[in-house]
Amino acid sequence: MTLIRLAWFTLFLSLNCSAAEKTAIRLGLLSFGTVAWEIEAMKQAKLADSASYSLTVVPIANPEAGKIALQSDTVDMIVSDWVWVSRQRSAGSDLTFYPYSTTSGALLVPQDSAILTVQDLQGKRVGIAGGELDKNWLLLKALARHQNQLDLDQAVEKTFAAPPLINQQLLSKRVDAAMNYWNFAAELEAKGYRQIMDGRQIIKALGITESVPTLGYVFKESWGKAHKQAVSEFLSGTRQARNQLCTSDQAWQDIAALIPNPDEQVRSQLRSRYCAGNVNEWGPKEQQAAERIYQLLRTESNNRLTGGSEHLQAGTFWAAD
């Protein structure tokens, strides 16, 4: 009897030691972002139950707050963009990026608008989310200059505002076109507004055919190398969750409470655009294409977005090997 009890006690200690050895991942998360969909889908599917990590979600108020939290070690990981990662590395940081989505913003107009091309924006009122250094706006300016020798800064009447306000500007006809983030653009599309082009189409029109992610998981390279297995399992789990959301109607319904808009057409459009952003290829070709995009952003922003570095910094993209 004593041996049996000893065996059970040993097993109990083993299981508890195993649980205690799990790598803690603190994820800075916007409550209204699509990453929250994936984390909830992971929870619903119990994808992390047997993993080597334990996940703690740390609410953040906005993307800038997430960046501050990551840099101050309040969180281990956030979702951000590779341009910011490269800029931080040029300043001595060891942040690195793993792709999450290729979905980007879009330029929209009313269904009956006479605007059909970028050139048609000349003389029009354009609402722009994210400010003058918004990457979609910068790339649209590069395209207008490339295709039509058109300087959009001079050719259009610009209105910069937060994404919800940009939508309201278009809905109330105070602007003729809106360049907005993909989820806000999806809401307009569901209401019958017409897309002129999205960020991926802008890139393609600029001669870059590779699909380059816009957002990704960002963490410190040193931390990632110290916890390779946990990081790999977490990233694999997010990909599985995304696939389930895009292929299983039940999985999608299970996270529906996280989508505040009750309109089914809007929800359907959000799902469609979200799933269209799946990262299917990520290798040397895509990373070289990112360098070409970087050069466009550097030129159009006059270094204000990218900082002083002439090229993407080595290590910007996470290499688990």
What is residue 144's three-state secondary structure?
Answer: helix
pTM of the model: 0.91
Domains 2-102+213-301 and 106-205 share a fold: yes
> Average pLDDT, stretch 206-216?
96
Q: Indicate left, alpha or beta for 219 from its phi (over 0: left) and psi (-120 to 50: alpha).
A: beta
Q: CB–CB of 63/262 below 8 Å?
A: no
Record the tokens describing residue 75, joined without a space: 């969180």
Higher pLDDT, 7 or 258: 258
Closest CA to 170 of 154, 153, 148, 194: 194
Model pLDDT, residue 10 = 39
Using DSSP's 3-state secondary structure scheme, residue 45 falls into coil
pLDDT for 2 beyond 70:
no
pLDDT band at 20 (very low <50, low <70, confident <90, very high): low
Domain spans of the chain?
Answer: 2-102+213-301, 106-205
Nearest Cα to Cα of residue 53 among 291, 231, 313, 236: 231
Beta 53-59 vs 23-29: how paired, if at all? parallel
Which listed CATH number (3.30.70.1060, 3.40.190.10, 3.40.1410.10, 3.20.20.10) goes with 106-205? 3.40.190.10
State the Cα torsion 274-276-282-286 to the nearest 10°: -110
Q: What is the pLDDT of residues 261-284, one digit of tens each?
A: 888 999 999 999 999 999 999 999
Which of 141, 289, 272, 296 lies closest to 211 in space, CA to CA? Answer: 289
Q: Among 188, 192, 140, 195, which Cα is nearest to 168's? A: 188
| Top-level class of domain 2-102+213-301 | alpha beta
- Cα first-last separation, the chain: 49
